[in-house]
Amino acid sequence: MQREGKLQIHSKAVHAGDRKKPGEHVPISTPICTASSYFYDSMRQLDRVLGRDEPGYAYARYDNPTTGALEELLCALENGHGALACASGMAALHAAMVTALADRRKSVVAADALYGATVSLLLNVLEPTGVKIRFVDACDLDALRAAVNEAQPGCILIESISNPLLRVAPMDRIAEIARQAGAALVVDNTFSTPLITRPLELGAHFSVHSLTKYLAGHGDVLGGAVVTDQEHYDGLRALARIVGPVLGPFEAYLTLRGIKTFPLRMERQCANASLVASWLGRHPLVEHVYFPGSAAHPDANTVRRLFPAGLRGAMVSFEIHGAGREEVFRFMDGLKMIVRATSMGDVHSMMLYPAMSSHRDISPRHRERMGIGANLVRLSVGIEAAEDIIADLEQALG
């Protein structure tokens, strides 16, 4: 792919990572390579490969041809320097955080609106090792600057679109604050995807994905990825060679195949989400709708500035008027097409109850501070006909 850097994201998604090796017989799609180790004609060559003086594969904990092709593709989509594919999104986020803090002050300033497992990673995994954690409203730049000045963090952590209330922080301006403080900026870009935002282009150091979601897109992969800049890539790979958070070749193959249609799927899902959010906003039983495409969204100016026209994400959260846990369960049990499941980003529409699933391990008081009430549900809008998604919501709401 000699012109890869000049291609648009739709073309990169189809071609990057494939047909890498010249030869008489080159498969048009990357094959699944399951070997755990590799043989060379001479010990000298194996020595050079193990020492990374010569390109090649030696041991599957270090790298794998199928996974390497996926990493090349992810790097092309995000316009990064290098990528690491991991066994889950949380493994990827942990690798990014550990790498970011390796040579920096063991302090993190994190957005106060984050995925529940991310909060648990900060409080239950990193903090017990001596990493100081501070939460702040990342959409309030004055508050963020004050927190950074006081905490002097080695890392700032945000989500491109927050889970589940879909806030959009000014990533480019936060990147400036991070660089002035000597901190690394880690962005979980799962909800936004590289079609909408590419954090490294906006000044971030790490862009993290749950491959399980939009990139693989079909509900059959568990995986994660980190895309990073040149400064941090060697450290990220060195950590991975020791710890081994690697993605298996079969999952890498499925993700490679899924990404080929990812931009088309995402465009459709964004369009559907806009229609669904508009309809929900008019329903008498819906108390509040959270959607970045809404004119009343608290971060509307940031969304217009950073997001391409017509692409506002494919997640819609909403509150059901007067509902508690039992009423929400009854509503969700009434869904006939929309899938009740604890994920998002698949081709089919999916709904979950954050208090029960994505933020289950967060205390009720903490959830309340985050704005996650007992009547909040989160909808991942799929590629079905928007009319059918709306019809299912309508009959379930009653």
Residue 80: give its domain's CATH number.
3.40.640.10
Domain of 190, in residue numbers: 4-259
Residue ending a domain, among 259, 290, 310, is 259
Rounded to 10°, the helix 386-397/325-333 angle is 130
Say yes or no: 57 and 187 in one domain. Answer: yes
Say yes or no: 218 and 114 in one domain. Answer: yes
Q: How confident is the model at residue 1 (pLDDT cuts 50, 70, 90)?
A: very low
Query: Which residues touch 66 (CB under 8 Å, ≥6 apart)?
Result: 30, 31, 32, 33, 249, 252, 253, 256
Asked whether the beta carbons of 189 and 209 are under 8 A apart, the reply is yes
Active-site residues, by number, are 61, 115, 188, 213
Each residue of 317-365: pLDDT tens digit? 999 999 999 999 999 999 999 999 989 999 999 999 998 777 777 777 7
Say yes or no: 319 and 246 in one domain. Answer: no
Residue 373 above 90 pLDDT? Answer: no
Report the relative pairing of strands 132-136 and 155-159 from DSSP bridges.
Answer: unpaired
Each residue of 64-118: pLDDT tens digit? 999 999 999 999 999 999 999 999 999 999 999 999 999 999 999 999 999 999 9
CA 246 – CA 62 distance, rounded (Å): 8
Number of C-beta neighbours around residue 398 at 10 A: 8
Residue ending a domain, among 239, 259, 279, is 259
CA 166 – CA 151 distance, rounded (Å): 26
Say yes or no: 310 and 236 in one domain. Answer: no
Which of 3-17, 54-68, 301-315, 372-386 is least confident? 3-17
